[in-house]
Amino acid sequence: MKTIKVSVVTPDGPVYESDVEMVSTKAQSGELGILPGHIPMVAPLQIGAVRLKNSGKTDFVAVSGGFLEVRPDQVTILAQSAESSSEIDIDRAVRAKQRAEERLHSQKREDVDFRRAELALQRAINRISVAERKI
Ligand code: ATP
């Protein structure tokens, strides 16, 4: 099978680098699957999972949005934060989820930045599902 090189990069450095047969993730416009030979493109991503298939195995990386760039020989995902499934601290994500839910359900509405809490909730839910591979 043909493969394409994929890098997931954050401000702290590369999180994932490998040659894969297929990359799939959620762009803002919907589900996106990239195979070797895909036309060059740039797409903004949702908070979501990146699935990387190679030799019958699938690796999972949680990304908090960002951009995907396809070039002829390389796919690059640039994200503010990203973690491979094995690097995710589930307890931390569960705590972040609880904090975000408390903020979203707070009675003191004027003290809460709802958009920020909603995004924190999405990041936490995404990390939990990537760590548990329930995607
Ligand atoms: P928290 O409130 O737990 O910090 P967050 O969603 O606000 O969560 P981010 O700002 O997205 O965190 O990420 C900050 C840094 O912490 C990034 O390097 C990210 O990869 C890492 N990180 C965040 N949550 C986890 C987690 N559950 N397991 C491993 N690394 C994490």
Return the exposure string of 90-121: e unless at least 16 CB atoms fall within 10 Å of the residue's CB, then b: eeebeebbeebeebeeeeeeeeeeeeebeebb
> What integer pLDDT is reported at residue 30 of this predicted model?
96
Q: How far is the CA of 80 from the centre of ligand 1 (A)?
A: 10
SS3 1: coil
pLDDT for 106 equals: 85
Ligand 1 center to 35 CA (angstroms): 29
The whole-angstrom distance between residue 44's C-alpha and the CA centroid of its chain comes to 11
What is the CA(23)–ligand 1 centre distance, in A?
23
Cα–Cα distance measured from residue 89 to residue 45, given in angstroms and rounded to the nearest whole number: 23
The whole-angstrom separation of Cα 112 and Cα 134 is: 30
Its pTM stands at 0.94
CA of 39 to the centre of ligand 1 (A): 33
Give pLDDT, residue 135.
66
SS3 call for 28: coil
DSSP class of residue 133 equals: T
Residue nearest to atom 21 of ligand 1 (CA): 81
Q: What are the structural domains of the chain?
A: 4-85 (2.60.15.10), 89-132 (1.20.5.440)
Alpha helices in 4-131 (DSSP H): 90-104, 114-131
Q: Is the CB of residue 32 less than 8 Å from the CB of residue 70?
A: no
Output the ligand 1 site: residues, CB below 6 A.
12, 64, 81, 83, 87-89, 92-93, 96, 120, 123, 127
Q: Which atom of ligand 1 is nearest to the CA of 15?
A: 20
Q: Model confidence over 117-134: pLDDT tens digits?
A: 999 999 999 999 999 986
* pLDDT < 50 regions, the chain: none
* Nearest residue (CA) to ligand 1, atom 10: 81
| DSSP 8-class letter at 53 | E
